């Protein structure tokens, strides 16, 4: 007949992989899925333990921020939200308050300071 302590220790060993996590072989991987606003990606690097050595999450809006400076020229600062939500081919070019001044995200600091 088994005692209560041996049943307890047996059940602890049964649930250890779920509480401590699985050991992953030492390697790296990038996995991406299609998200509503672009590609959502996760990059993991493992050193063989149950926790990742390095983790990098690439949000769908990251690709939008790379081209935002060139897409926002000749636009008003309030139009930046609309530019992010639209395709770059469908953006309508405007002049900044009729002054024929080009504006970009790097120029926004001088306008608001």
Residue 35's pLDDT band, with cuts at 50, 70 and 90, is: confident
Asked whether the predicted pLDDT for residue 88 surpasses 60, the reply is no
Domain residue ranges of the chain, discontinuous segments joined by +: 22-60, 67-112
Helix (H) or strand (E) holding 54: strand 54-58
d(CA 109, CA 36): 31
Q: What SS3 class is residue 80?
A: helix
Q: Tokens 């050595």 label which residue?
A: 53
Nearest to residue 49, comparing CAs of 29, 18, 24, 28? Answer: 24
pLDDT of residue 5: 66
Asked whether the predicted pLDDT for residue 14 surpasses 50, the reply is yes
Q: Looking at the whole model, is its pTM more than 0.85?
A: no
CB 20 within 8 A of CB 27: no
d(CA 48, CA 50): 7
């Amino acid at each position: 007949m088994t005692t209560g302590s041996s049943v307890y220790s047996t059940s602890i060993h049964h649930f250890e992989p779920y509480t401590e996590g699985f050991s992953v072989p030492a390697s790296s991987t990038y996995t991406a899925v299609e998200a509503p606003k672009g590609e959502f990606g996760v990059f993991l690097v493992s050193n063989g333990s149950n926790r990742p050595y390095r983790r990098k999450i690439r949000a769908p809006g990251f690709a939008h921020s790379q081209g935002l400076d060139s897409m926002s020229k000749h636009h008003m600062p309030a139009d930046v939200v609309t530019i992010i939500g639209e395709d770059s081919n469908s953006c309508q070019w405007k002049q900044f308050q009729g002054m024929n001044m080009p504006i970009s995200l790097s120029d926004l600091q001088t306008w608001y300071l």
